[in-house]
């Protein structure tokens, strides 16, 4: 799936849970149920939203900020599964499957989120076909993402993987006023994302910088040559 289609699916989910839109689609009683079950939550950078092994009591809709989902490996090293940005939702898969969380969610910036109780979320799926369809699209997209991850690690070189990750991060998370990708990652986190050793990630970032593909300021990265990175990473736009 192209990045453009992925972003469209994520944007559709965001619009579906817009409260003005939601109020216009469902009955006053159903909207009141939603309102009474909703909690406005704030998380500071570095704070855990939920932990691996916790039992889900509801879902979280991100109103601002960025978080990451990660899974601890056999040797205790965390593996980043994906990033969650404004408008995205987390916690729904485990909730709908009736199982404990299989990953940890952690705030990478200060976050404002809506928490919707399990009962209210299930009810919304039953009474609102637009929410149900948006969630089906999201599940289908993430199933495809899982397949792509296998191919990403098995078929692409580390250099190609780094190029692709940088393009995807910029497309999904956006840039600040100076053009830097809106996420600050350690070299270890970048290595984790592309499936390599930290030393290799450091060397590749240095090479990309020397080749004028990117600009680096501390943990911040700005893409200078989108065309070459897209071609190098074989990214579908």
For 26-69, the pLDDT digits (tens) are 999 999 999 999 999 999 999 999 999 999 999 999 999 999 99
3-state secondary structure of 177: coil
Does residue 77 or residue 61 have the better pLDDT?
61
Q: What's the confidence (pLDDT) of residue 177?
A: 93
Q: Of all helices (H) and strands (E), which one includes residue 220?
A: strand 220-223
Does residue 6 or residue 53 have the better pLDDT?
53
194 close to 158: Cβ distance less than 8 angstroms:
yes
**Mean pLDDT of the residues in the chain:** 90
Q: Which domains does the chain have, with CATH numbers?
A: 3-152 (2.60.120.10), 156-233 (1.10.10.10)
List the beta strands (DSSP E) in 22-174: 38-43, 48-50, 58-64, 67-72, 78-84, 89-90, 104-107, 111-117
For 83-125, the pLDDT digits (tens) are 999 999 999 999 999 999 999 999 999 999 999 999 999 999 9
**Whole-structure pTM value:** 0.85
* Nearest one of 1, 5, 3, 10 to 237, comparing CA atoms: 3
3-state secondary structure of 77: coil
Q: What's the confidence (pLDDT) of residue 75?
A: 65
* Nearest one of 7, 11, 36, 8 to 21, comparing CA atoms: 11
Query: Which two three-digit tokens encode residue 40?
Result: 């406005």
Q: What's the confidence (pLDDT) of residue 140?
A: 87
Q: Please, which residues have CB within 8 angstroms of residue 18's CB and are 6 or more apart in sequence?
A: none
Q: What's the confidence (pLDDT) of residue 150?
A: 59
Query: Which two three-digit tokens encode residue 128?
Result: 């609102």
Q: What's the confidence (pLDDT) of residue 217?
A: 95
pLDDT band for position 141 (cuts 50, 70, 90): confident
pLDDT at 147 over 70: no
């Amino acid at each position: 799936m192209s990045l453009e289609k992925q972003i469209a699916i994520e944007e559709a989910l965001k619009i579906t849970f817009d409260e003005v839109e939601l109020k216009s689609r469902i009955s006053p009683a159903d909207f009141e149920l939603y309102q009474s079950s909703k909690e406005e939550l704030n998380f500071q950078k570095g704070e855990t939203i939920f932990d691996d092994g916790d039992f889900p009591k509801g879902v979280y809709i991100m109103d601002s900020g960025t978080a990451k989902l990660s899974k601890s490996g056999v040797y205790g090293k965390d593996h980043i599964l994906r990033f969650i940005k404004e408008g995205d939702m987390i916690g729904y898969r485990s909730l709908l499957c009736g199982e404990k969380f299989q990953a940890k969610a952690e705030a990478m910036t200060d976050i404002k989120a809506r928490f919707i109780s399990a009962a209210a979320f299930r009810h919304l799926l039953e009474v609102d076909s637009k929410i149900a369809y948006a969630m089906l699209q999201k599940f289908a997209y993430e199933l495809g993402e899982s397949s792509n991850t296998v191919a990403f690690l098995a078929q692409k070189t580390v250099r190609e993987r780094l190029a692709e990750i940088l393009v995807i991060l910029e497309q999904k998370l956006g840039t600040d006023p100076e053009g830097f990708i809106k996420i600050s990652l350690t070299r270890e986190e970048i290595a984790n994302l592309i499936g390599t050793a930290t030393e290799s990630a450091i060397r590749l970032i240095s090479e990309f910088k020397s080749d004028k593909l990117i600009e680096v300021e501390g943990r911040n990265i700005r893409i200078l040559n989108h065309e070459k990175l897209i071609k190098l990473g074989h990214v579908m736009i």
